[in-house]
Amino acid sequence: DTEVTQTPKHLVMGMTNKKSLKCEQHMGHRAMYWYKQKAKKPPELMFVYSYEKLSINESVPSRFSPECPNSSLLNLHLHALQPEDSALYLCASSEGYSNTGELFFGEGSRLTVL
Amino acid sequence: QKEVEQDPGPLSVPEGAIVSLNCTYSNSAFQYFMWYRQYSRKGPELLMYTYSSGNKEDGRFTAQVDKSSKYISLFIRDSQPSDSATYLCAMRASGSARQLTFGSGTQLTVLP
């Protein structure tokens, strides 16, 4: 079963709020990713975790803070966001960071920042 | 010039038509090619995954890769209204999923 589960599906927050996005996969994948997608644009890579360690941070502002508690879970902590951060946030996973496996996406968390 | 070029459409076809979606790319190091289908307000769903040149078929979907021309295609036979979505091509060189480069996506509508 190829499934990446994201919660919540929708989130509305103010600029002073603190919230978290959660992602879970049970495919035994060792690499997990956060992407950001704006309307009518392709996904943009934010972070990559490989074997629970942060491998890539694509110069993402510190108001986004990723966390990987274990190999199945990935969180994205949000604080002091701006309205332009409103987007679809996608979690993805693959067998490994450097191998040739496919990348599987979750359904996304749609974030609106007021 | 973008590394991956994809006609954004929109593309409208009647039900039952054969649909051809295409991407061109400039980086000759790309070896792994993917097609994703994305319904409105949903995450991308992996449809096809191919390595190097050649064809791959899965039901009504056929993916073609021509590395000599740096051109990939996705064909949908007997298209259905449920195929209406945005189709994203994605590709990368070996070694790192970081280098996954997406096309801009083609919006497809299949009319009943």
Hey, CA dihedral for B53, B56, B62, B63, is it positive or negative?
negative
> What does the pLDDT read at residue A2?
54
pLDDT band at A98 (very low <50, low <70, confident <90, very high): low
At A48-86, the pLDDT tens digits run 998 889 988 888 999 999 999 998 999 999 999 999 999
Nearest to B105 among A42, A98, A104 (CB): A42
Per CB-CB distance under 8 Å, the chain B contacts of A102 are: 34, 46, 49
Q: Residues B19-32: what's their mean pLDDT?
A: 94
Per CB-CB distance under 8 Å, the chain A contacts of B99 are: none
Cross-chain residue pair A105–B49, CB shorter than 8 Å:
no
Nearest to A108 among B42, B51, B104 (CB): B42
Give the CA-trace dihedral at B47, A3, A94, A50, to 10 degrees. 160
Q: Which backbone phi and psi does A98 adopt, to 5 degrees?
A: -110, 5
Ranges of beta strands (E only) in chain B are: 4-6, 11-14, 19-25, 32-38, 45-51, 54-58, 61-66, 71-76, 85-92, 101-102, 106-111
Question: Residue A107 pLDDT > 70, yes or no?
Answer: yes
Question: Residue B94 pLDDT > 80, yes or no?
Answer: no
Q: Which residue of B has its CA nearest to A41?
A: B104
Nearest to A107 among B43, B88, B103 (CB): B43
Q: Residues B79-98: what's their mean pLDDT?
A: 88
Cross-chain residue pair A108–B46, CB shorter than 8 Å:
no
pLDDT band at A100 (very low <50, low <70, confident <90, very high): low
> What does the pLDDT read at residue B14?
97
Distances (CA, A) of B93 to A10, B28, B30, B111: 34, 9, 4, 37
Mark which residues 47-86 of B lie under 8 Å from A by CB.
Answer: 49, 51
Place of tokens 């289908």: B37
Of A10-24, A47-61, B39-53, B88-102, which has the strongest mean pLDDT?
Answer: A10-24
